[in-house]
Structure 1
Amino acid sequence: MVRVPDFMNQLFRMRSRGLLSGLSVLLAEFPLVMAIIARVPYTEIDWTAYMEQVQLFLSGVRNYKELVGCTGPLVYPGGHVLLYTILYYLTNGGNNILLAQGIFAVVYCTCVFTVGLILRTVRAPLYLYGLLILSKRLHSIFILRLFNDSFNSLFAALAILFACNKRFFWASIMLSLACSVKMSSLLYFPSYFVILLQAVGPKKTWLHAFLIVLIQVAVSLPFISYFSNYWLQAFDFGRMFDYTWTVNWRFVSKELFESNIFSTGLLLIHISFVLIFAFTRWNRITKAGPIAMTKSMLTLKPLQPVTAMTPQFILTALAASNLLGIVCSRSLHYQFYAWFAWYTPYLMYQAGFNAIMVIGLSMLQEHAWNVFPSTVSSSILAVSIPALTLAKLYQSTDNRIRS
């Protein structure tokens, strides 16, 4: 007779070896998504503002300072405008909410399937697939609120999938498209360029950088007449956030939250940890330090690899780079959960947590992001769980990446 502990141990160790796992998750998602659309009321937050801004764009307004909706000015890059212009036409000026929800349901299911393919590529344990469909907050972001984070997340997931399969040309395109919708995907770039330099060499890394910038320039062309206003508003790194909506910093005072000292401190912490990870973890393929990498980029001489670059390494580096930015973020709003929630269970697994811990921490993280309005305790969880994951990841990946 098989003992229950042995059975559970084997269950948690099972890994995906084909498309069946991803398809199974998708089949489980489809009826759930349909039920949510049918039974849970749509919540108006930004959709109307998006449509109002698109309407102004279609009327000929090209100055970003004049593209204003009911919730404020347009603060997203040109890719967002182009995507929501398409949605404007498809949904009768934004009035057909049910059709819009159907479109976002397709985007959500595509994102789930893409992340499933990523997990298959890195041979992740099967229980991580189950965590993909259990998030109330992710369903809400995509299907009930129609946020642009949905498209941003999909493009980022496609970029990661291509990168894990070493299709870096397409990875660069998708990552740039993600940034053209929302600049949050810039958080991937520190590890992405370290990966590129080690994988394809300095010459091709420069070409990838040019390709990424070229796409950003292309989506900005409709606003070329007011170029400075476009770049300052679409990529506003000094934007102030409202304490009312913060998910992650409720446990600090409003005065500290709004201070320059706080934002500057977070930026310095972020830069410091990115450099630490870049030159002690993400450089493991060549063991190159900052001087060697800089010299390689300037002289165009490739670095010499000392070990193979695996999909597991690529996903871990990209997801960690993104999560570092999340932990040090000036403020996180509820829809920002879509930026990172897909990959934290895998990082927890790579950090060495057992299955029970991964599931437990993932549930606590989900709970923190479903408390509205945020509280002191929920914001502590929202910060401490990814911070703990990164600390444990740094410690456990000193010598190896789990495969």
Structure 2
Amino acid sequence: MDEVSGYDKGERDYINLKGDTGPLVYPAGFVYLFSWLRSITHGAILPAQYIFAALYLATQFIVMALYITSCTMPPWSLVLLCLSRRLHSIFVLRLFNDLVIKEARVGDALRGVIAGIILQGLLGLPFLKTYPKSYLLRAFEFSRVFTFKWSVNWQFLPEDVFTSQRFALLLLFLHLRLLWSFAQYHWFKEEGGILPAFTQFFKRGSGDEKRRNTTAAAAAASLEYKDTVMMNIFPPREWTSALFIVLHGIILWSVWASPAPAPKVARTVIFARNLKDKAAIA
């Protein structure tokens, strides 16, 4: 809400919109959402936390209901949901805007991209009409260089190496290479490789989504403090960054060595059998 205060005061040049943690680097939808939140809470943090707490409880209720309905999760897994540092950070501590995630298929993704472009154009119209260059450069800042002190996973590197373009390109290459390798030899091996895999990329279930997230984290320039307990140390330490890289390398290898997720048909059959067994016991 601090970053949108300038917008509420009439500022329309995106370059001048900033807060205590840095410049505003999100598209216009973020501005409108938190401007509305700022208006109904009169700029106070506590009422906003109450709103996010209600969203947190609703999210927990839905996820717990899914766990129970699936008949595949043990009862103690519900306790882990309540202990999730990531959920606490998103909903209560920092009031992030990443509250909704939807799995998409190819058709949904294409329609979403088209609709997103149109919607972004409409939402950003007040800024595009006044300072279009500032809006495009700041809201979609692909050339942005991460600040070294905020990197929780590369503190053991020299700052000049971390901020260099070569290192950024190396991470990009590493990420793309990991995605290609997993798709070619693991996710879609039975489908014949990368080309058929590309057309079916969005048809996969949550198992592949977790694997894609694992490869992304391995090649990220920096990760959020909210993601894990290990990274919630400020300022970041060299040993925590090194330990994270080692542990994440182990996780990445484990994911590579693990069996591919069951096809959707098989998951449906397993789910149906679990429901049938539960009904028989009842």
TM-score per shorter chain, which class?
0.7 to 0.9
Structure scoring higher RCO (CA < 8 A, sep ≥ 6) equals 2
Is 1:103–2:72 an aligned residue pair? no
Gaps of at least 5 residues in structure 2 are: 271-282
Tell me which of 238, 241, 250 is aligned to 1:376: 238
Question: Which structure 2 residues correspond to residues 194-233 of structure 1 after superposition, within 5 A?
Answer: 196-197=105-106, 206-225=110-129, 226-233=131-138
Question: Which structure 2 residues correspond to residues 52-91 of structure 1 after superposition, within 5 A?
Answer: 54-91=4-41
Is 1:327–2:218 an aligned residue pair? yes
Partner Cα distance (2:70, 2:20) in 1:
44
Corresponding letter in the other structure for 1:279: Q
Partner Cα distance (1:65, 1:103) in 2:
30
Deviation at 1:56, TM superposition (A): 2.4
Tell me which of 68, 79, 84 is aligned to 1:130: 79
Partner Cα distance (1:118, 1:326) in 2:
26
* Closer, same or farther: CA 119–381 of 1 in aligned 2, 3 Å: farther
Is 1:289–2:203 an aligned residue pair? no
Corresponding letter in the other structure for 1:317: D
Partner Cα distance (1:122, 1:314) in 2:
15
Instruction: State the partner residue of 1:314.
Output: 205
Q: 3-state DSSP class of the match of 2:155?
A: coil
* Closer, same or farther: CA 86–121 of 1 in aligned 2, 3 Å: farther
Tell me which of 390, 396, 399 is aligned to 2:258: 396
Is 1:385–2:247 an aligned residue pair? yes
Gaps of at least 5 residues in structure 1 are: 1-46, 169-195, 297-302, 304-308, 338-364
Partner Cα distance (2:132, 2:65) in 1:
39
Partner Cα distance (1:118, 1:133) in 2:
15
* Closer, same or farther: CA 125–257 of 1 in aligned 2, 3 Å: same
Partner Cα distance (1:254, 1:70) in 2:
23
Identical aligned pairs, as a percentage?
Answer: 32
Question: Which structure 2 residues correspond to residues 104-253 of structure 1 after superposition, within 5 A?
Answer: 104-116=52-64, 119=67, 124-126=72-74, 127-136=76-85, 138-146=87-95, 148=96, 151-152=97-98, 154-156=99-101, 159=102, 163=103, 168=104, 196-197=105-106, 206-225=110-129, 226-253=131-158
Number of aligned residue pairs: give it.
261
Partner Cα distance (2:70, 2:159) in 1:
42
Question: Which structure 2 residues correspond to residues 5-20 of structure 1 after superposition, within 5 A?
Answer: none
Equivalent pair of 1:75/1:233 in contact (CA under 8 Å)? yes
Equivalent pair of 1:105/1:143 in contact (CA under 8 Å)? yes
Deviation at 1:250, TM superposition (A): 1.7
Corresponding letter in the other structure for 1:134: L
RMSD: 3.0
Deviation at 1:119, TM superposition (A): 4.7
Equivalent pair of 2:26/2:139 in contact (CA under 8 Å)? yes
Partner Cα distance (2:163, 2:186) in 1:
33
Equivalent pair of 2:187/2:260 in contact (CA under 8 Å)? no
Instruction: State the partner residue of 1:275.
Output: 180
Q: TM-score, normalised by structure 2?
A: 0.77
Q: 3-state DSSP class of the match of 2:60?
A: helix
Relative to total residues, which structure has the larger helix share, 1 or 2?
1
Q: TM-score, normalised by structure 1?
A: 0.56
